[in-house]
Structures are given as C-alpha cells and as structure tokens.
Amino acid sequence: MSRRDLTDLPGAGDQRDPVEEFFARERADVRDLQAGHDHWEGIVREARRPARRSWLPYAAAAAVAAVVAAGAWAGLVHRTDDRTSPATASSQRSVETVTRTVTTTPTPLPSTSSLPAQATTPTPAVSTATGPLPVAQSFGLVSMTNAGGNVLYALGSATCPGGKPCTQVVTSRDDGRTWVALSTFTTLTTPAAGSTPTGAHQLVGIRFASPDVGYVFGSTTLRTLDGGRSWQPVDVDRRVVLSLETDGDWVWMATARSCTASDTSTRTGCTDLQPLTGKAGDTSTTPVRANGTPTSALAAWITMDGHDAYLNTSLSDPARPDVARPGPLVRLSGPAGALGAVDGCDGGMWASGAAAARGTLVGLCPTKGKPADEWSVVTSTDRGMTWTATPSPGLGRPTAPGTWLTATDADHLVAVTGGAPSSTSGTPAPTALLASSDGGRTWGDTGPGRGGAPVWAGAAGGSLVYAVEGGLAYWQSTDAGQHFARVPMRR
C-alpha cells in the first residue's frame, strides 16, 4: 500500500478507522534493513529516528502507539543477541580484572540450598551524576572490571565535601581512554586494594556481568541493573562478601559471617566461610555446599575459568604465625568439592584461570620439602583434573601475606609479591611486579617502578594485563606483562 491518508481511499468518508489508519502510517514508514549481528547498531539507529509526521489526533491511535512503543522498548532491553566475552575478545581489548567471560551458554545451577528469607538492608546514601563529571582528584583506585563493549568500571576511595571519606564508582565508555564519575556512596568507605572488609559500611570490589548489570561488595553488597545509575541491596544473609566474580550468567561469592583485622599474634581473620551463588542481576543468593571448604581463613577469593568457579583461601600457619599459607583449592561449580593434593606441593595452593586459555589453571604452592624457602608454580590444562608443579625460586621466599598470581596462558604469568588478599592490620608488605614467559621457571622485574608499587594484577584475554597501585592511574601491558604503561584516569 502506498503512503497516503486513509481519507483518500474510495468509500472512506466518515468511516475512518483510527487504529487502521495508525498501522497504515506505520507500515508506510518501515525501512528494510538487513538482519544480523553486524547490523544491530544500524537497526538501533533506525529505531531512534524521529517520526516525520504530525501528532496523531485520535485517542485510540495514540493508545495503540503507546502499546507499540512499549513493545519496541522491551525488545531492545530484553534482546538475546550474542554478547562478546571479555575473555575471548582480545582484539577489542575487552578486559575484566579477574572476571573474564560473558557468554550466552547456560550454566547448570550447582547443588545449593536456599537461604531463609532475610530482611533487606537499607540502601546506603548515593548520589549519581546528572552529566559527565571528571573523576575526583582525591580518587584512589581499588578495583576494576570490564563489562564488555569497551565499557570499564572502577571503584575507589574519595573525599566528599567537608573532608568526609566516601566511595566513588567511575566509568569509561572507550576502553579506558577517558573516564567520568558515575555514583558516589556518601556513607560508605573503601580500604586499600586487596584488603578484606573488616569494618562496617565498607566496599572493597566491583564486578559487572554486562554493561548494565553489576555489583559493588564488601560489608555491604549492592547491585545495579542500569549501568550504575541506581543501586539496590543484595540478600547475602547479612554476610561479608570478600570476593565476587561472574561468568556473565551466574555470580559467585566468597563470604564470611564476620572478619576482623588480625595481627601476627591473633591471626583470626574471617569466620564461618560460606560460598554463595545466584543468577546475575537477582537480589537473592543461595549457599554452595562444597566439601573441604575451610571454616575460617585470613582471606578468601573466587577465581573463574570460563563457567567454572573455584574458591581460594589464605590460612594461618601455626609454625610460622607471620606467614599465610594456601588452603585447599575448592571447586564450586559442577562436582563441587576440594581438589586433591598435588605432588611437589607442601599443603594447598592458590590458583587462577588463565585468561586466554580456557580450561587452564595456574597457581602457587609452597615447594614440598622446603615450604619456608620456595614457591612452586602449579599448572593444569584439563580443568584441574591433573597438575604439574615446577619449582620457582625467582619468586623469592613465601612471606606474609603471600604472592598474587595471574596468567594469560600456561607460560605467560604475572606475579605481585606480597599481594595476596589479607585481613592483617598494619603497614602493607612491600610488593614487586614480576613476569615470566616460561611457566614460572624464570622471572623478571617488569614493574613500572614509578609512583609506588602495584598491589594487584589481572590478565584479561589475549596478551592484555592490568596492574593496580591506587591513585588516579593504573598500569596496562599489551605483551603479557613484559612491559607496562601508565594510564591516567583524569586528564
């Protein structure tokens, strides 16, 4: 049918149907667009084109227009097109910190039991920017995450008006080239990177499952469904969330009933450890029952390998109260439970999924026979079924709080000595940023060496690695940690 007013049709007269008239106008305005993922942006642009006609004068037609518009918006919000995985889209530099995969492959819900209904925690006071605002000069970077599509988020400490400490969420929509302030939590504070939340009203990390769905966590845990513009409490059974990771579909948390700032004499740390999981975006969680999970620890954190989730724990060593030792590596997804001992290791291990090699886990354990003197690098290329241990004297002696390890693949590793998460009070241990290209046999100091020592590093697909030291910048490597460049968050 050609585009013309329905009153021009033969016999129309006063028998015009405003609903039919509306649809006739709509059909006439339709422009054919080729379908397919590569044309999605074009389709979105067409959907946003303004109408090129006068306002419909009929109430019935206006009501139909409202229904059609609502349906079109729902289609945009709830579309199920493929999402790019930050772990695999290295060509797009789509990077997360420890969280790496965003896929549409469903993951079976692990064996869980529901938590009893809990009273919700009031949402902390938060102010959101009404327009692009620069990152605060007082911003101190603590945690980063990549949401896919070159969208990055970061959490850090800040100073609010009146000199009061607060917490700020900032974002970049161009893969870190420019950053703007997004939300400020005026009643929450943020300790240093790598810290365990040992006080009330603290945030220690940020993770996003998609550009819209994300979390901030600590002694308070909140989630957003609109890209950080608004935040709501998450039911975690009134527990402290030490770590949170996601594969884009499910969220996994390491939680404790409470944590205290320990010292070398008490070493109490966190009590009543309990992993939790939930569907990304939901406000409820369920506990994961995994045999071998320690009941208490100095610190605990989640690592992801694709859809597989693992729990790392840092335990006190009765023989060496000044040193933290690795606990058993506990698988949380699929057949949940602690993995067995590894030949060549003295005790447990800390492991991380290799960002660019699905199914590969790389970790550290004290070397068997000399646990006080040497680390060994442990590697599995079959999702933790079998392991090999390689002595790694270049990492130095195991000391408190421990060494943080991340990997792009089984050969290319980056370590932060003294960088393992800790609940120990006092001055943080000095750190160094080391890199290996031969699976941990040899190491070289590739740390930036300017403006402080990094306290955390994360591989994120391809050869991309980030390092965090706090302040208004982070460090980025595009060659698996061999060289780093400083990236300012405020220009």
- The mean pLDDT of 65-70, rounded to a whole number, is 32
User: Taking 70 as the threshold, does the pLDDT of residue 332 lie above it?
Assistant: yes
Residue 399 one-letter amino acid? T
Q: How many CA atoms lie within 13 A of 399 on its CB side?
A: 12
Token pair in block for residue 375: 């680390």
Residue 217's nearest CA partner among 301, 294, 160, 298 is: 301
Q: What is the pLDDT of residue 399?
A: 82
Q: Write down the pLDDT at residue 431.
A: 79
Between 70 and 19, where is the model more confident? 19
- 381: pLDDT strictly greater than 70: yes
Complete edge-to-edge strand list for the sheet that includes strand 375-380: 350-353, 361-366, 375-380, 388-392
pLDDT band, very low/low/confident/very high, at 318 (cuts 50, 70, 90): confident
Strand partners, 234: none
What pLDDT is stored for residue 367 in this prediction? 97
Q: Model pTM?
A: 0.74
Q: Are 353 and 304 in contact (CB under 8 A)?
A: yes
Give 280's strand partners.
none
Q: Which residue has the tokens 């209904």?
A: 117
H/E stretch holding 76 reads helix 59-77
Please tell me which residue, 85 or 242, carries the higher pLDDT value.
242
Is the pLDDT at 169 greater than 80? The verdict is: yes
Residue 480 has what pLDDT?
94
The 10 Å CB-count burial string (b at 16+, else e) for 16-42 is eebeebbebbeeeeeeeeeeeeeeeee
Residue 465 CB partners (closer than 8 Å, separation 6+): 406, 408, 414, 457, 458, 459, 476, 477, 480, 481, 484
Judged against a pLDDT cut of 80, whether residue 196 lies above it is answered with yes
Q: Which of 131-135, 201-205, 340-344, 486-490 has the lowest mean pLDDT?
A: 131-135
DSSP character string of 248-315: SSEEEEEEESEE--B-TTT---EES-EEEEEETT-S--EEB--TT--SEESEEEEEEETTEEEEEEEE
Stretch among 41-45, 142-146, 466-470 having the lowest mean pLDDT: 41-45
- Asked which of 52-56, 77-81, 82-86, 211-215 is least confident by mean pLDDT, the reply is 77-81
Q: Are 270 and 198 in contact (CB under 8 A)?
A: no
Using alpha carbons only, what angle is made at residue 208 by residues 125 and 175, rounded to the nearest 5 degrees? 105
Predicted local distance difference test score (pLDDT) of residue 193? 79
- pLDDT at residue 130 above 50? yes
Residue 332 and residue 110 in contact, taking contact as beta carbons nearer than 8 Å: yes
More confident residue, 23 or 164: 164
Distance in angstroms (rounded) separating the CA atoms of residues 210 and 476:
22
136, 138, 212, 216: which is closest to 180 by C-alpha? Answer: 136
Average confidence score pLDDT of the chain: 77
> 116-125, 393-402, 466-475: lowest mean pLDDT where?
116-125
Mean pLDDT of 262-276: 75
What's the CA gap between 155 and 100, in Å, rounded?
A: 18
Instruction: Report the DSSP beta bridge partners of residue 444.
Output: 435
In this predicted structure, which of 169-178, 187-196, 296-305, 418-427 has the lowest mean pLDDT?
A: 418-427
**Whether 103 contacts 247, CB under 8 Å:** yes
Beta-strand pair 330-331/320-326: unpaired
Residues 447 and 435: their CA atoms lie apart, in Å, by 9
Question: pLDDT at residue 44 above 60?
Answer: no
Q: How does DSSP assign 100-129, residue by residue?
A: ----S---PPPSB-PPPP-PPPPPPPEEEE
Token reading at 5: 């007013």
Q: What is the pLDDT of residue 418?
A: 85
Task: Flag the least confident range among 5-19, 56-70, 402-416.
Answer: 56-70
8-state DSSP, 12: -
pLDDT at 455: 85
Q: Cα dihedral angle (235, 241, 243, 247), rounded to 10 degrees?
A: 0
Beta bridge partners of 141: 156
121 band by pLDDT with thresholds 50, 70 and 90: low
Residues belonging to the chain: 491
Report pLDDT for 411. 97
Kindly state the tokens that stand for 227.
Answer: 């890209």
pLDDT at residue 471 greater than cutoff 80: yes
pLDDT of res. 52: 37
DSSP structure class, residue 56: P
Residue 301: what pLDDT? Answer: 96
Least confident range of 7-11, 191-195, 341-345: 7-11
| Domains of the chain (ranges, CATH numbers) | 6-77 (no CATH), 90-488 (2.130.10.10)
- How many Å apart are CA 175 and CA 146, to the nearest integer? 9
Weakest-pLDDT range from 117-121, 316-320, 336-340: 117-121
Position 267 scores a pLDDT of 54
Residue scoring higher pLDDT (316 or 80): 316
Q: Exposed (0-12), middle (13-18) or buried (19+): which is 265, by Cβ within 10 Å?
A: exposed
What is the arithmetic mean of pLDDT over 232-245? 96
- What distances in angstroms separate CA 267 from CA 261, 317, 323, 400, one per listed residue? 8, 9, 10, 12
Q: Residue 161: what are its φ and ψ, rounded to 5°? A: -50, 140
pLDDT of residue 323: 80
Q: d(Cα 358, Cα 58) in Å, to the nearest integer?
A: 58
For 67, counting Cβ atoms within 10 Å of its Cβ (0-12 exposed, 13-18 middle, 19+ buried), the class is exposed
Percent of the chain scored above 70 by pLDDT? 69
| Lowest-pLDDT choice from 177-191, 247-261, 365-379, 448-462 | 448-462
